[in-house]
């Protein structure tokens, strides 16, 4: 009990005033009596304050509200719901114990809690790593209207939450993909090349439909524009191939490139399934990691989600010969391979190029790699010194290296997506739609 009692500053201020009065009482007698009386009153009020605070064994209840499964890179609101069980009001200060990764050692809230009432405090948490995050206990300091004593209440609100690849982003892009206005959000309406696909239905014309698909007979009967809708070829195999070598450990907005690739792979797999294709997953570094054959169905998407959750970097070089051998053995028919990797130099690309060309002979390979957005900010910044000019020139040269890598891959017939990390999912989906519409898969 005594470990939970804290004397407030107001008490020490009162003691100091009483001491001054007692000292002055040696010169003025009546001040001595006032000082002694003030000490008695102060001690009495302090005891009374303690009785008020400790009159209830459990004066406060608290609950921390957060989901058991969090989305990588997406902020969530963590709520602390506090309820008073006491018959008197309290001033309180609340200290929560968030995950160590949040680096919030001074996370606290203050407020006034009425008798038998509830109040809620909240803060935002953005997980930047996959795995288990732990919340600890909650510490609450309460004081009454007298304010002479504080009571510490420690409540065991320990919780854990798993951070998975972002299902929230997956659902967002699924909505944009099948929304008529998605072109305004970055998802392109890819024009279908030719009409060799299977006829599906006649539907009302909406903005963005190809005017060459207008069915004039149906239009004359309905007195409104009607178009033929064709069903794209389905049940094709598409794979997300994720490089988890040390080249993917660079960070952008708190997430590593590997985590950006993990989120994008989940988005891409979901859209491909919705389009009727079969999806699979390969991960590799110096050794092969996950190998999931292409299948369809919601259960398979859950397997992909669980597999992406477990991916970790081992800080070694990517083994492209091993990737080629595995692809040759494991993928018998022509498939779309969306390779998420990161080439920082032309030398790194040229070492992998012979293997990428071999893979591209049998399959349709798309190499997805990343722009260095930090260097782009350096280039656009107005230089002020000679050193700034030198740094800007070096940064521009590194940016041009990425573009030369993309041109070299394209020259050898390999599709590329050079993208900013925050536009990865949009650009990957647009490339998928483009290839799908051209019938290249």
For residue 106 the two structure tokens come to 């001074």
Specify the pLDDT at position 193.
38
What angle (nearest 5°) sits at the alpha carbon of residue 347, between those of residues 344 and 353?
A: 100
**Mean pLDDT computed over every residue of the chain:** 83
Looking at residues 187-214, what average pLDDT do you find?
Answer: 60
Phi, psi of 314 (to 5 degrees): -110, 10
Looking at residues 323-334, what average pLDDT do you find?
Answer: 92
Specify the pLDDT at position 379.
65
Residue 102 has pLDDT above 90, yes or no: no
Specify the pLDDT at position 72.
92
Lowest mean pLDDT among 101-110, 115-124, 254-263, 298-307: 101-110
For residue 361 the two structure tokens come to 């002979």
Displacement of CA 40 from its chain's centroid (Å):
59
For residue 409 the two structure tokens come to 């891959």
Task: For residues 379 and 381, give the distance between their C-alpha atoms in angstroms, rounded to a whole number.
Answer: 6
Lowest mean pLDDT among 269-273, 275-279, 381-385: 381-385
| Neighbouring-strand partners of residue 367 | 339, 416
With contact defined as beta carbons under 8 Å apart, do 278 and 295 qualify? yes
Higher pLDDT, 89 or 282: 282
Using pLDDT thresholds of 50, 70 and 90, give the confidence band for residue 354: very high
Phi, psi of 230 (to 5 degrees): -110, 145
Using pLDDT thresholds of 50, 70 and 90, give the confidence band for residue 191: very low
With contact defined as beta carbons under 8 Å apart, do 6 and 93 qualify? no
Q: Which residue, among 79, 173, 166, 97, has the nearest Cα to 127 in the 3D structure?
A: 166
Looking at residues 342-355, what average pLDDT do you find?
Answer: 91
Per-domain residue ranges of the chain? 2-53, 60-164, 234-437
Residue 281 has pLDDT above 80, yes or no: yes
Task: For residues 273 and 257, give the distance between their C-alpha atoms in angstroms, rounded to a whole number.
Answer: 24
Specify the pLDDT at position 436.
83
Specify the pLDDT at position 192.
43
Specify the pLDDT at position 200.
58
Residue 48 has pLDDT above 90, yes or no: no
234-437 sits in which CATH class?
A: alpha beta
Looking at residues 77-87, what average pLDDT do you find?
Answer: 90
Residue 328 has pLDDT above 60, yes or no: yes
Say how many C-beta atoms besides its own lie within 10 A of residue 50's C-beta. 18
Task: For residues 362 and 208, give the distance between their C-alpha atoms in angstroms, rounded to a whole number.
Answer: 34
Say how many C-beta atoms besides its own lie within 10 A of residue 27's C-beta. 8
Lowest mean pLDDT among 28-37, 79-88, 194-203, 273-282: 194-203
60-164 sits in which CATH class?
A: mainly beta
Residue 68 has pLDDT above 70, yes or no: yes
Using pLDDT thresholds of 50, 70 and 90, give the confidence band for residue 194: very low
Looking at residues 190-196, what average pLDDT do you find?
Answer: 43
Looking at residues 313-330, what average pLDDT do you find?
Answer: 90
Task: For residues 81 and 64, give the distance between their C-alpha atoms in angstroms, rounded to a whole number.
Answer: 6
Specify the pLDDT at position 1.
44
Helical (H) or strand (E) element with 135:
strand 131-135
At 126-174, the pLDDT tens digits run 998 898 999 999 999 988 888 888 888 888 889 999 999 999 999 888 8
Query: Model pTM?
Result: 0.78
């Amino acid at each position: 009990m005594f470990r939970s009692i804290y004397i407030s500053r107001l008490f020490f201020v009162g003691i100091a005033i009483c001491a001054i009065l007692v000292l002055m009482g040696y010169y003025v007698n009546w001040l001595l009596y006032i000082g002694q009386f003030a000490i008695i009153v102060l001690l009495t009020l302090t005891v009374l304050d303690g009785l008020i605070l400790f009159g209830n064994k459990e004066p406060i209840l608290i609950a921390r509200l957060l989901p058991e499964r969090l989305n990588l890179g997406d902020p969530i609101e963590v709520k602390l719901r506090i309820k008073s069980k006491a018959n008197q009001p309290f001033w309180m200060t609340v200290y929560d114990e968030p995950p160590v990764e949040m680096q919030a050692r001074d996370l606290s809230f203050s407020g006034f809690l009425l008798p038998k009432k509830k109040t809620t405090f909240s803060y935002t948490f953005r997980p930047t790593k996959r795995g288990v995050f732990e919340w600890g206990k909650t510490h609450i300091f309460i004081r009454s209207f007298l304010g002479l004593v504080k009571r510490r209440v420690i409540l065991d609100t320990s919780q854990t939450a798993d951070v998975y690849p972002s299902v929230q982003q997956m659902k967002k892009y699924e909505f944009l993909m099948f929304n008529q206005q998605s072109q305004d959000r970055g998802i392109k309406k890819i024009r279908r090349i030719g009409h060799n696909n299977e006829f599906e239905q006649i539907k009302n014309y909406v903005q963005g439909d190809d005017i060459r698909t207008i069915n004039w007979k149906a239009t004359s009967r309905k007195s409104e524009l009607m178009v033929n809708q064709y069903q794209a070829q389905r049940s094709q195999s598409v794979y997300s191939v994720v490089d988890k070598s040390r080249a993917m450990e660079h960070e952008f907005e708190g997430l590593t490139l590997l985590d950006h690739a993990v989120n994008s792979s989940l988005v891409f797999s979901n859209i491909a399934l919705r389009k009727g294709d079969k999806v699979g997953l390969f991960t590799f570094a110096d050794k092969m990691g996950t190998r999931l054959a292409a299948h369809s169905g919601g259960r398979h998407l859950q397997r992909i989600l669980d597999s992406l959750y477990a991916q970790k970097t081992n800080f070694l070089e990517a083994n492209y010969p091993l990737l080629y051998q595995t692809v040759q053995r494991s993928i018998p028919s022509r498939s779309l391979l969306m390779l998420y990797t990161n080439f920082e130099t032309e030398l790194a690309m040229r070492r992998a190029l012979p293997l990428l060309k071999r893979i591209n002979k049998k399959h349709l390979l798309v190499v997805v790699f990343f722009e260095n957005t930090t260097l782009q900010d350096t280039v656009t910044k107005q230089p002020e010194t000679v050193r700034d000019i030198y740094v800007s020139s070096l940064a521009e040269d590194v940016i041009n290296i990425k573009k030369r890598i993309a041109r070299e891959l394209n020259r050898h017939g390999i599709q590329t997506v050079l993208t900013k990390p925050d536009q990865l999912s949009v650009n990957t989906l647009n490339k998928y739609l483009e290839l799908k519409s051209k019938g290249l898969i």
